[in-house]
Structures are given as structure tokens and as C-alpha cells.
């Protein structure tokens, strides 16, 4: 079952695909705060995040016809575009300074966000349930990587462990997660 907000977003994307500016405007109104939060988290700097946010919605304008409501949730599609744009931007720069891992994942205790109406509550409960089955360090590593789009090298440095150990830990965590999610 889909919430009204999600249905509104799907129809806004369909209208965007038809070349309607008001479709893009509605999409922006419903989602820009979330996507700006996602970009800001990866880029760490407001001016950069604003630039990338602009690129994200121009990408949505051009590619809205690629969005298939039967195959992906609209928020997944939009968040994926925002993360990819932000990660590409961050990789194109020489270096960035990431917070220590404790600070990076402290929002983990926050209650599920009020934007949940746009997202799929069922898959959210499932991921969070499966994460609960991982060791704490494994959860921290996956969460830290996702939030910041951090590379293996950056993660190894933040969690002060050798690169090989870091890779091994994350791959094991992914395997456990996949097994749990597919049950």
C-alpha cells in the first residue's frame, strides 16, 4: 500500500517526465530537504551541497522518464541520484577530512525520521532489524560508509584498523546482512 505523499511524489515525477515544470517543483518541495541533508552529510560543506543539489534536480528533470514506479520507490530513485552525484563530487577532489567514526554515526540512535511517509516502512524495519543482528563494529562500519560515502581507505583510517581487516569486516557484514534480508 502506498501513502498519499508517495503517490503525490510518483505523479509529480510522471509530470516531470512529461516536461512539466510544476512536476519538478512539486518533487523539489517534497524532497529537497531530505536530499540536501544527504548531500550535506557527504560533502560536509553547504556551498558544495547546494551546487550538487542543483545538479541533482537538473538530472531529475532530464531523466524523469527513466523512473519506473513499478521497479523502484521514488525516494530510492531520488536518494540514489543525490548520493551518486555527491560521491562523484567528493571523489573528484583531492582530500577531505572526515569526523572520527563515533561522531559520524551518532545519529544512529535517533528515532525513525518523520519523512517515513515517503519511504517504505516495511523495508526500513527489515534493514534496521537485520542490522541489529550484526556486531556493533560491523553496524558502525556500514552506517559510516553509507552516510559519508567513505572509501575503504577512509574507513580504515577512521576506525584505526589495517585496510585488509577493514575490507574483511565490511564484506563479512554485507554477507550477514544479505542472508538476513533475503529471509
In the bound complex, what is the minimum distance in angstroms from residue 127's beta carbon to other proteins? 4
Answer for which of 96, 98, 151, 161 binds other proteins (CB under 8 A) is 151
Q: Which H helix or E strand runs over 69?
A: none
The residue whose grid cell reads 560491523 is 138
Q: What angle is formed at CA 6 by the lines to CA 121 and CA 79, rounded to 5 degrees? A: 75
Q: Which of 34, 24, 10, 30 is nearest to 62 (CA)?
A: 24
Asked if residues 112 and 124 have their Cβ atoms less than 8 Å apart, the reply is yes
Strands (DSSP E) contained in 24-69 are none
Query: Does 24 help bind other proteins (rule: CB under 8 A)?
Result: yes
- Distance (Å, rounded) from C-alpha 90 to C-alpha 85? 9
Q: What is the dihedral of CA 104, 106, 107, 111, to 10 degrees?
A: 160
27-56 binders of other proteins (CB under 8 A): 28, 32-34, 36-38, 40-42, 49-50, 53-54
Among residues 63 and 128, whose Cβ is nearest to other proteins?
Answer: 128
Footprint of other proteins on 152-181 (CB under 8 A): 152-153, 155, 162-165, 167-168, 170-172, 174-175, 177-178, 181
Count residues contacting other proteins (CB under 8 A)?
A: 83
- The answer to whether 61 contacts other proteins (rule: CB under 8 A) is yes
User: In whole angstroms, how close is the CB of 86 to other proteins at the nearest point?
Assistant: 9
Least separation, in Å, of the C-beta of 65 and other proteins? 10
Smallest separation, CB 104 to other proteins (Å): 11
Binding mask 89-128 for other proteins (x = CB under 8 A): --xx--------------xx-x-xx-xx--xx--xx-xxx
Instruction: Answer yes or no: are the C-beta atoms of 5 and 26 closer than 8 Å.
Output: no
Q: List, in sequence order, every beta strand (DSSP E) within 109-183.
A: none
Amino acid at each position: 500500500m502506498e501513502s498519499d505523499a508517495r503517490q503525490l511524489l510518483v505523479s509529480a515525477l510522471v509530470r516531470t517526465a512529461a516536461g512539466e515544470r510544476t512536476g519538478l517543483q512539486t518533487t523539489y518541495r517534497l524532497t529537497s530537504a531530505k536530499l540536501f541533508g544527504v548531500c550535506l552529510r557527504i560533502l560536509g560543506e553547504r556551498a558544495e551541497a547546494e551546487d550538487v543539489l542543483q545538479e541533482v534536480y537538473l538530472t531529475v528533470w532530464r531523466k524523469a522518464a527513466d523512473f519506473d514506479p513499478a521497479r523502484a520507490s521514488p525516494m530510492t530513485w531520488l536518494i540514489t541520484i543525490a548520493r551518486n552525484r555527491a560521491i562523484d563530487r567528493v571523489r573528484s577532489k583531492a582530500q577531505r577530512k572526515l569526523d572520527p567514526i563515533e561522531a559520524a554515526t551518532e545519529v544512529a540512535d535517533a528515532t525513525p525520521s518523520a519523512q517515513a511517509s515517503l519511504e517504505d516502512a516495511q523495508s526500513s524495519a527489515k534493514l534496521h532489524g537485520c542490522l541489529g543482528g550484526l556486531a556493533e563494529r560491523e553496524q558502525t562500519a556500514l552506517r559510516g560508509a553509507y552516510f559519508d560515502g567513505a572509501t575503504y581507505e577512509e574507513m580504515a583510517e577512521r576506525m584505526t584498523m589495517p585496510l585488509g581487516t577493514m575490507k574483511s569486516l565490511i564484506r563479512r557484514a554485507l554477507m550477514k546482512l544479505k542472508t538476513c534480508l533475503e529471509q
